[in-house]
Amino acid sequence: MREVAIIGIGQTRVGELWELSLRQLGHDAVIAAMQDAGVERADALYVGNMLSGELAGQEHLATLIADFVGLRGIEAAKIEAACASGAAAVRMGYLAVASGLLDVVIAAGVEKMTDTPPDETTAGLALAADQEYEVAEGATFLALNAMLMQRYMHEYGVPHRAFAPFPINAHRNARTNPNAMFHMEITVEKYEKAPVVAPPINILDSSPICDGAAAVVMVPWERAQEFGGRGQRIVRIAASASATDTLAVHDRRDPLFLEAAHLSCHRAYAQAGLSPADIDLFELHDAFSIMSVLSLEACGFAPRGRGVDLGGSGAIALDGKLPLTTMGGLKARGHPVGATGVYQIVELVQQLRGEAGPNQVANAHIGMAQNIGGSGATVITHILIGEE
Amino acid sequence: MREVAIIGIGQTRVGELWELSLRQLGHDAVIAAMQDAGVERADALYVGNMLSGELAGQEHLATLIADFVGLRGIEAAKIEAACASGAAAVRMGYLAVASGLLDVVIAAGVEKMTDTPPDETTAGLALAADQEYEVAEGATFLALNAMLMQRYMHEYGVPHRAFAPFPINAHRNARTNPNAMFHMEITVEKYEKAPVVAPPINILDSSPICDGAAAVVMVPWERAQEFGGRGQRIVRIAASASATDTLAVHDRRDPLFLEAAHLSCHRAYAQAGLSPADIDLFELHDAFSIMSVLSLEACGFAPRGRGVDLGGSGAIALDGKLPLTTMGGLKARGHPVGATGVYQIVELVQQLRGEAGPNQVANAHIGMAQNIGGSGATVITHILIGEE
């Protein structure tokens, strides 16, 4: 295989972007990434998206965006793996460049969730769960995560407020990310008084419904210098790994252990020749607070039942031992589902280039991103290294 | 890159399969392909599907099927490119194996279209067209193809009956394909009297709405002998190429020339070092009769305006110069949209192995399959070679 480098990144702001259509969002992110990379053409565009068919009546999305950005003729495909669609698109681009068959591949994530009434969007999100064995019984995504959180609190004797540091950290970091949806800080008091959505999950445990798009340009590592760009540091994809679990949570061997996250990140560690101690920052999938904690435990950053302690210890802050959600994460940057995995990669690149502004993690050299589809059913992990 | 071989194929019959669920269809095809290949595990499953979200309320389909077939833990992703989703999944599997990163990859295509009322299914198919610039104006897929056919007849002075040989050939071949949806022959008289659906397209110009699933197992060419199988001939993927055009037909430079088909097959010819004269049989995308003709012209088998003549000349029969739709094609084997591209590959492998039974093309050595998404917007071409 050929080593793969990311030479360009682009993103739109995240929020309720009623003035921007689905194709316009995709356009803006792709064009920004191409300009950042200094490329005027590409061989392929892979688009991560979950809900365009359900919410916008539009499939065939990658071909539509390829044409709309002026790349008519290139290869295009949409990649869907629920909320992990974004990272799945990046992974397909990585495989395509690694194969030696394609030289310039753009992976984008695009999602538009706010043009439909919230109940329609919520019903759309449930397409990620098992239709026959979960959704038909009335389970929503929120309900499934609420049961996981409840079980965690019961099993390990953890109070709800122990989760507070995760959304507080995310909101603190989002304040200075111009692309984030939310720019207000929150406190433990606010967290404890936040309206409950599905007990024990409250509104500040939950990432928002929103619109957004992000994109990266990938090329063979040995040819990265050929392209234009702005002279920015090149970032190498040191590992890319995907794994799955049962779609239905009740079918898992142990619902509190994210097997797919464990498999996925350990495949990534093996590919990169690294261990959890080597990771300088971690963009994890904080769709709900409980997911952050389960992800940290599955990835070897904390023993089981102790993932919450990392929040309390201060380790997850920008100047901590393992900074998390450094640009706001799903909770505060926002979670436009099929785009989220690409935002995570874009933000890692910002950090590894030293371009994260007030959010810069000092000496960021090795970053990890983990994108989760469903309640842990598809998990994709990337490890990126900023090269000198 | 590594060369890629297909060592296993599987398919369900095509039809109104009300007794088989979406996941069961996927299961049956994948298990059949794994048994045929003699493999008990895989690294990844890529599933081509267009309409599971819209018609079954189920996204995240690849992960669901991976679990349901007993492959929990492996990588999985759904690939969507409208009616070209099946070939897009095969192409992703090809890239993954070619990269050297994955060794055993299954590409499946699955579609279930008959559990919903026909008008819902038809509306679902329109998701492949441009929602804002075509569908919002009332265009359906059928209407777009009808306009293309009308324009072709006008431009080249071709009567409607000149298209008859294509569906007649498809139905003749389907008779002896046990997996085909239709097993009745049709005649020129029946064709000329068939009910018109959207003038000039009649019911015998149109492929049916149906259910079905197909799968292939891909491995590195140099390791193909390691796996079990039944001692059948190994088939090599000599070329895989994808190209796009505008989604909206009215945006094309020339609606009667399928630019994406031209780009896609010429990329494939270049990769394989072959020309149209080398192709022993061609599984083309006969969703409508007009698409067969436009595909033949774009791929260099006939000059523009003369593609219809190939039908009249007898060249497209099993014993002709360029056998088409040898197992019945989309018209008569059936067109379960996201699965179709995989059926085409499966049927090519049957031919190149010499396992096509009464449908066997003599001396079949090099086969081409072309899968088209939308009215020519995404086109994926594969060339397969049966090795001694």
The residue type of B78 is K
Contact call for A77 and B64, based on CB within 8 A: no
Query: Taking 80 as the threshold, does the pLDDT of residue A25 lie above it?
Result: yes
- To the query of whether residue A335 is one of the catalytic residues in this protein, the response is yes
Write the DSSP assignment of B293-348 as a string of letters.
Answer: HHHHHHTTSS-TT-HHHHHHTTTTSTTSSS-BSTT-IIIII---HHHHHHHHHHHH
Contact call for A77 and B378, based on CB within 8 A: yes
Angle between helices B22-37 and B61-68 in degrees, nearest 10: 60
Contact call for B63 and A242, based on CB within 8 A: no
- Please check whether residue B134 lies inside any domain of the structure: no
Q: pTM score, two decimals?
A: 0.98
Distance from A97 to chain B by nearest Cα, in Å? 8
CATH assignment of the domain containing B348: 3.40.47.10
CA distance B349 to B383: 11
Q: Can you tell me the ipTM of this complex?
A: 0.98
- Residue range A278-286: average pLDDT? 98
Q: Does residue A33 sit in the same domain as residue A157?
A: no
Give the E-state strand segments of A226-316 in sequence order.
235-244, 281-283
Contact call for B76 and A81, based on CB within 8 A: yes
- Please check whether residue A378 lies inside any domain of the structure: yes
CA distance B307 to B276: 14
Q: Does residue A172 sit in the same domain as residue A63?
A: no
* β-bridge mates for residue A123, sequence order: none
Q: From the candidates A27, A83, A160, A265, which is the catalytic residue?
A: A83
HEC per residue, B94-124: HHHHHCCCCCCEEEEEEECCCCCCHHHHHHH
B72, B98, B246: residue with CB nearest A99: B98
Q: Which residues of B touch A86 (CB under 8 A)?
A: none
Please tell me which residue, A229 or B362, carries the higher pLDDT value: B362
Query: Taking 90 as the threshold, does the pLDDT of residue A230 lie above it?
Result: no
Whole-number Cα distances in Å, A285 to A214, A263, A304? 16, 16, 18
Distance from A144 to chain B by nearest Cα, in Å? 16
Q: Does residue B63 sit in the same domain as residue B201?
A: no
Q: From the candidates A171, A262, A335, A382, which is the catalytic residue?
A: A335
- Please check whether residue A135 lies inside any domain of the structure: no
Q: List the domain range (segments joined by +) for residue A53.
A: 4-117+209-235
Contact call for A244 and B73, based on CB within 8 A: yes
- Please check whether residue A39 lies inside any domain of the structure: yes
HEC per residue, A259-273: HHHHHHHHHHHHHHC
Category of A15 on φ-ψ map: left (φ > 0), alpha (ψ -120 to 50) or beta: left
In chain A, the percentage of residues whose pLDDT exceeds 90 is 97
Question: How would you class A96 by CB atoms within 10 Å of its CB: exposed for 0-12, middle for 13-18, buried for 19 or more?
Answer: buried
Query: Taking 80 as the threshold, does the pLDDT of residue A388 lie above it?
Result: no
Which band of pLDDT confidence, cut at 50, 70 and 90, is reported for residue A247? very high
Q: Does residue B224 sit in the same domain as residue B351?
A: no
For residue B266 the two structure tokens come to 């010429």
What angle (nearest 5°) sits at the alpha carbon of residue A343, between those of residues A338 and A344?
Answer: 105
Contact call for B73 and A127, based on CB within 8 A: no
- To the query of whether residue A299 is one of the catalytic residues in this protein, the response is no
Question: How would you class A233 by CB atoms within 10 Å of its CB: exposed for 0-12, middle for 13-18, buried for 19 or more?
Answer: middle
What is residue A148's DSSP assignment? H
Q: Which residues of B touch A66 (CB under 8 A)?
A: 244
Which band of pLDDT confidence, cut at 50, 70 and 90, is reported for residue A115? very high
- Residue range A219-237: average pLDDT? 92
Chains A & B: contacts with CB separation below 8 Å: 197
Contact call for A243 and B75, based on CB within 8 A: yes
Say if strands B201-202 and B212-220 run parallel, antiparallel, or are unpaired: unpaired
User: Pick from A5, A7, A10, A34: which is nearest to A94 by CA?
Assistant: A5
Q: Does residue A376 sit in the same domain as residue A353?
A: yes
- Residue range A191-195: average pLDDT? 98
Question: How would you class B220 by CB atoms within 10 Å of its CB: exposed for 0-12, middle for 13-18, buried for 19 or more?
Answer: middle
Asked if A230 and A38 count as a contact pair (C-beta separation under 8 A), the reply is yes
- Measured over the CA atoms of residue A117, residue A122, residue A125 and residue A131, the dihedral's sign is negative
Task: Tell which of A197, A220, A235 closes a domain.
Answer: A235
User: Pick from A88, A163, A96: which is nearest to A128 by CA?
Assistant: A88
Question: How would you class B319 by CB atoms within 10 Å of its CB: exposed for 0-12, middle for 13-18, buried for 19 or more?
Answer: exposed
- Please check whether residue A344 lies inside any domain of the structure: yes
Query: Taking 90 as the threshold, does the pLDDT of residue A131 lie above it?
Result: yes
Confidence at residue B214, expressed as pLDDT on a 0 to 100 scale: 99
User: Pick from A289, A281, A283: which is nearest to A165 by CA?
Assistant: A289
Cα dihedral A303, A305, A307, A309, rounded to 10, equals -110
Asked if B82 and B337 count as a contact pair (C-beta separation under 8 A), the reply is yes
Contact call for B81 and A95, based on CB within 8 A: no
Confidence at residue A365, expressed as pLDDT on a 0 to 100 scale: 98
Q: Does residue A275 sit in the same domain as residue A247?
A: yes
B54, B64, B99: residue with CB nearest A1: B99
Confidence at residue A387, expressed as pLDDT on a 0 to 100 scale: 85
Confidence at residue B56, expressed as pLDDT on a 0 to 100 scale: 94
Q: Does residue A145 sit in the same domain as residue A225?
A: no
Contact call for B80 and A76, based on CB within 8 A: no
Give the E-state strand segments of chain B in sequence order.
4-11, 44-48, 75-80, 105-111, 196-198, 201-202, 212-220, 235-244, 281-283, 366-373, 378-386
For residue B68, the chain A residue with the least C-alpha distance is A246
CA distance B337 to B85: 8
Cis upstream peptide for A199 (omega within 30°): no
Confidence at residue A342, expressed as pLDDT on a 0 to 100 scale: 98
HEC per residue, A15-54: ECCCCCCHHHHHHHHHHHHHHHHCCCCCCEEEEECCCHHH
Q: Does residue A112 sit in the same domain as residue A242?
A: no
Output the tens digit of pLDDT for each of chain B's 388 residues. Answer: 999 999 999 999 999 999 999 999 999 999 999 999 999 999 999 999 999 999 999 999 999 999 999 999 999 999 999 999 999 999 999 999 999 999 999 999 999 999 999 999 999 999 999 999 999 999 999 999 999 999 999 999 999 999 999 999 999 999 999 999 999 999 999 999 999 999 999 999 999 999 999 999 999 999 999 988 888 999 999 999 999 999 999 999 999 999 999 999 999 999 999 999 999 999 999 999 999 999 999 999 999 999 999 999 999 999 999 999 999 999 999 999 999 999 999 999 999 999 999 999 999 999 999 999 999 999 999 999 998 7
For residue A80, the chain B residue with the least C-alpha distance is B78
- Please check whether residue B132 lies inside any domain of the structure: no
Cis upstream peptide for B200 (omega within 30°): yes
Tally of CB atoms within 10 A around A195: 7
- Please check whether residue A304 lies inside any domain of the structure: yes
Q: Does residue B172 sit in the same domain as residue B27?
A: no
Confidence at residue B337, expressed as pLDDT on a 0 to 100 scale: 98
A336-353 per-position pLDDT tens digit = 999 999 999 999 999 999
CA distance A75 to B86: 15
Cβ neighbours of residue B204 under 8 Å, at least 6 residues apart?
Answer: B167, B186, B190, B191, B194, B331
Residue with tokens 């060419």: B221
Tally of CB atoms within 10 A around A140: 16
CA distance B70 to B56: 22
Q: Which residues of B touch A130 (CB under 8 A)?
A: 58, 64
A57, A72, A77: residue with CB nearest B245: A72
Q: Does residue A33 sit in the same domain as residue A77?
A: yes
The residue type of A93 is G
B50, B81, B244: residue with CB nearest A72: B244
Confidence at residue B283, expressed as pLDDT on a 0 to 100 scale: 98
Q: Does residue A34 sit in the same domain as residue A102?
A: yes
A66, A101, A135: residue with CB nearest B244: A66
A82-94 per-position pLDDT tens digit = 999 999 999 999 9
Pick the residue of A4, A43, A60 with the most B CBs within 10 A to test the interface with B by mutation.
A60
CA distance B77 to B86: 13
Please state the domain count of chain B.
2
CA distance B137 to B131: 9
- Please check whether residue A257 lies inside any domain of the structure: yes
Q: Does residue B363 sit in the same domain as residue B260?
A: yes
Which band of pLDDT confidence, cut at 50, 70 and 90, is reported for residue A326? very high
For residue B2, the chain A residue with the least C-alpha distance is A99
Residue with tokens 């004797």: A157
